[in-house]
Amino acid sequence: AQSVTQLGSHVSVSEGALVLLRCNYSSSVPPYLFWYVQYPNQGLQLLLKYTSAATLVKGINGFEAEFKKSETSFHLTKPSAHMSDAAEYFCAVSEGNQGGKLIFGQGTELSVKP
Amino acid sequence: NAGVMQNPRHLVRRRGQEARLRCSPMKGHSHVYWYRQLPEEGLKFMVYLQKENIIDESGMPKERFSAEFPKEGPSILRIQQVVRGDSAAYFCASSPLAGGPNTGELFFGEGSRLTVL
């Protein structure tokens, strides 16, 4: 069975600092991996996705994530945090043939201090 | 191009009442997914529908919950005889394709927040 674990339910960084949100997955087949962002009282928005092409994936708003099979990880990073990055971030996994049936992690709330 | 539209945004029901949540997918999208987000938790898959067909309802509680996506009109998630534990945000998402390169690339609505008193 597939699963996703996000380490740290809350992460706080200073504006301009590196953002690192951790995600580890478990999958018996080559996974499709995603990061979604949720702003307060809104739906989720796709940040980026890995679908077995390049292992370093670039997304919107300056975010990127690296797929590391040996570590079963897909951590999300951004070199310099902006106040507008404050939101909840969800890592998700799916099997390639399951369409939009995603398994989500618990989420990590990112706070950005001025 | 309008996004995924959900209504109502907020719904308050007393225990035992029925809740109906509606979702209109993005134009051109024929695949609809419902997810539930309980407080302090991630989203949990409930059901996947195409027009007039339930494809996968493995995440839906066996009792009191039902979903449909008729030929005409929005998809509807129906919860009968609501209980306090049904209080959650219910998100609808749509996609143009079931698999392939767009797998998992879902477009979410803003959610319907159900409160059961």
Q: What digits encode the pLDDT tens for the residues A65-90?
A: 999 989 999 999 999 999 999 999 99
pLDDT for A28-39, tens place per residue?
777 889 999 999
In percent, the amount of chain A with pLDDT more than 90 equals 68
Residue among B116, B104, B95, B93 at smallest CA distance from B5: B93
Say how far apart CA B88 and CA B80 lie, in whole Å.
Answer: 15
User: Model confidence at A98, in pLDDT bands (50, 70, 90)?
Assistant: low
**Residues near B107 by Cβ (< 8 Å), separated by ≥ 6?**
B3, B4, B25, B26, B29, B93, B94, B95
Per-residue pLDDT, B102: 60
Say how far apart CA B100 and CA B52 lie, in whole Å.
Answer: 22
Using the predicted structure, report yes or no on whether residue A97 has a pLDDT greater than 80.
no
- Cβ within 8 Å of A, B 51-110: 56, 91, 93, 95, 97-99, 101, 103-106, 108-110
Say how far apart CA B41 and CA A5 lie, in whole Å.
Answer: 12
Using the predicted structure, report yes or no on whether residue A53 has a pLDDT greater than 80.
no
| B104 to A45: CB separation less than 8 angstroms, yes or no | no
- DSSP, res A71: G
Mean pLDDT by 10 residues, chain B (117 residues): 88 98 92 90 90 92 95 95 96 78 78 96
Per-residue pLDDT, A56: 93
Task: Calculate the average pLDDT of chain A.
Answer: 90
Per-residue pLDDT, A67: 93
| B104 to A100: CB separation less than 8 angstroms, yes or no | yes
| A100 to B33: CB separation less than 8 angstroms, yes or no | yes
Residue among B36, B37, B33 at smallest CA distance from B47: B33
For residue A79, cis peptide bond before it (omega within 30 degrees of 0): no
